[in-house]
């Protein structure tokens, strides 16, 4: 099969972790007789430096032509401490999500048996955790009207949702729940927010179409607490953009390292796969970042974008093997030897 994949390495450690994922994908392609056409494109601070725009039109064209997008990370400290910056790398990410129509962000959280004691949470709390967040990605407070008034003394960010936006996200949630344990949690703040009441009302109306799915409705503050107390009581969780942003970072603690968790952003036009971690600027160029979240994102890509399940399983298996054998970067090595980013990638390739 011929796979056309747009490659957006981005900023910070992005190019390093993407490099290892490319090596792994190429090894999988050789093993399973596929041909990958990598289509590199600029994004983030790297794109601002080159063309003054964090998500240039040329990059968008490449993403549209590709069958899937593999994405590294975005963000650069030179913009973080400058509230007056006119363009920021993160705008590129938001623009890309919007223009590609990537409305559903799939963020799984699971534990690796060999790493269970790496989590700051107690083993008995987290053992068996296998949950998925479906975070709405192109609406809510991220995209509502924002601005200043009163000569800059007052600022506002509006949170807006349409029933259609809630429905299409919830539909994916119900469908995903049907392929798993048929348990769905709608996370909202319906005791306070009107948008949350629309979410709840919309999801409630959809329940009759999925009679086998048990739906619970929980407030986001309570979920934040239960997520670290009883994570294995959850399966599929659906939520709006900002709640999902916060809760998925929290959930990543369960697995023991942010450097492990992959994600997919899906929509009508295209699908994008990226690690949930950021650009980790302090580690740029040091060859120390954990490439596994990106490698596992590539596994999600094989499965979801190309329906190549065996290939995805092969990647997951070799990642599990590397973890079990301690071929890990410094975030996971503890007192043992820390391998370099590129050494982990080479080991994965050899073992594929
Ligand atoms: C994420 C990130 C982004 C977000 C930032 C970089 C804009 O934190 O993908 O979770 O808030 O969505
Ligand atoms: Mn985030």
Is residue 245 annotated as a catalytic residue, yes or no? yes
Centre of ligand 2 from the C-alpha of residue 152, in Å: 27
Q: Where in the chain does DSSP place strands (E)? A: 2-10, 35-40, 68-73, 104-110, 130-136, 146-149, 154-157, 183-188, 214-219, 236-239, 262-266, 271-275
Last residue of a domain, one of 207, 236, 255: 255
Please report the pLDDT score of residue 81 as a whole number.
79
Give residue 234's pLDDT: 98
Strand partners, 263: 274
Rounded mean pLDDT, 7-15: 97
**Domain-ending residue, one of 255, 287, 316:** 255
Residues 297 and 352 in one domain: yes
Across the range 300-325, mean pLDDT stands at: 97
Ligand nearest to the CA of 246: 2
Task: Indicate whether 272 and 181 sit together in one domain.
Answer: no
- In 182-317, where do the E strands start and end? 183-188, 214-219, 236-239, 262-266, 271-275
Q: Does a structural domain hold residue 66?
A: yes
What is the number of the ligand closest to the CA of 142? 1
Handedness of CA 207, 211, 217, 220 (dihedral sign): negative
Task: Tell me which of 55, 79, 142, 234 is the catalytic residue.
Answer: 142
- Ligand 1 near 245 CB (within 6 A): yes
Nearest CA to ligand 1 atom 11: 245
Question: 115: pLDDT confidence band, cut at 50, 70 and 90?
Answer: confident
pTM given for the model: 0.93
Q: Is residue 292 packed enough to be buried (19+ CB in 10 Å), middle (13-18) or exposed (0-12)?
A: buried
Instruction: Give mean pLDDT, residues 104-133.
Output: 93
Give the chain's domain count. 2
**What average pLDDT does this structure show over 109-117?**
89
Q: What is the pLDDT of residue 269?
A: 77
Domain boundary among 255, 285, 320: 255
Q: Find the domain containing 310 and state its range.
A: 1-110+259-352
Q: How confident is the model at residue 83 (pLDDT cuts 50, 70, 90)?
A: confident
Give yes or no: residues 273 and 250 share one domain.
no
What pLDDT score was predicted for residue 110?
92
Q: What is the pLDDT of residues 159-192, one digit of tens each?
A: 999 999 999 999 999 999 999 999 999 999 999 9
The response to whether residue 93 sits with its C-beta less than 6 Å from ligand 1 reads yes
What pLDDT shows up at residue 141?
A: 98
Residue 20 CB–ligand 1 contact under 6 Å: no
% pLDDT > 90, the chain: 91
- Annotation says 82 is catalytic: no
Helices (H), 44-148: 45-51, 57-65, 77-80, 89-99, 123-126
Q: Is the pLDDT of residue 308 over 90?
A: yes
Nearest atom in ligand 1 to 93's CA: 7
Write down the pLDDT at residue 316.
Answer: 97
């Amino acid at each position: 099969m011929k796979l056309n994949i747009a490659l957006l390495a981005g900023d910070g450690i992005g190019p390093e972790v993407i490099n290892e994922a490319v090596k792994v994908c190429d090894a999988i392609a050789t093993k399973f007789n596929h041909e990958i056409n990598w289509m590199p494109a600029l994004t983030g601070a790297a794109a601002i430096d080159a063309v003054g725009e964090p998500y240039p039109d040329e990059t968008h064209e490449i993403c549209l032509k590709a069958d899937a997008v593999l994405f590294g990370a975005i963000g650069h400290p030179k913009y973080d401490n400058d509230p007056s910056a006119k363009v920021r790398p993160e705008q590129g990410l938001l623009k890309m999500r919007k223009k590609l129509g990537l409305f559903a962000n799939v963020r799984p959280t699971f534990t690796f048996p060999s790493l269970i004691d790496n989590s700051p949470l107690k083993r008995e709390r987290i053992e068996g955790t296998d949950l998925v967040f479906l975070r709405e990605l192109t609406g809510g407070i991220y995209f509502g009207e924002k601005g200043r008034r009163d000569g800059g003394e007052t600022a506002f960010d509006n949170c807006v949702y349409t029933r259609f936006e809630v429905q299409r996200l919830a539909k994916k949630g119900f469908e995903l729940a049907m392929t798993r344990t048929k348990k769905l949690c709608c996370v909202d703040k319906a005791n306070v927010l009107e948008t949350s009441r629309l979410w709840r009302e919309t999801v409630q109306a959809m329940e009759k179409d999925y009679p086998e799915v048990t739906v619970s409705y929980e407030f986001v503050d309570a979920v934040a607490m239960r997520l670290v107390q009883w994570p294995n009581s959850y399966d599929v969780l659906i939520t709006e953009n900002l709640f999902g942003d916060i809760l998925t970072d929290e959930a990543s603690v369960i697995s023991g390292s942010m450097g492990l968790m992959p994600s997919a952003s899906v929509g009508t036009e295209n699908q994008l796969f990226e690690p949930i971690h950021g650009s980790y600027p302090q580690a740029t160029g040091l060859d120390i970042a954990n490439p596994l979240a990106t490698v596992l994102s590539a596994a999600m890509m094989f499965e979801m974008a190309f329906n190549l399940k065996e290939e995805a399983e092969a990647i997951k298996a070799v990642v599990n093997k590397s973890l079990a054998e301690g071929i890990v970067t410094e975030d996971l090595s503890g007192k043992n030897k820390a391998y370099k980013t590129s050494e982990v990638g080479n080991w994965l390739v050899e073992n594929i």
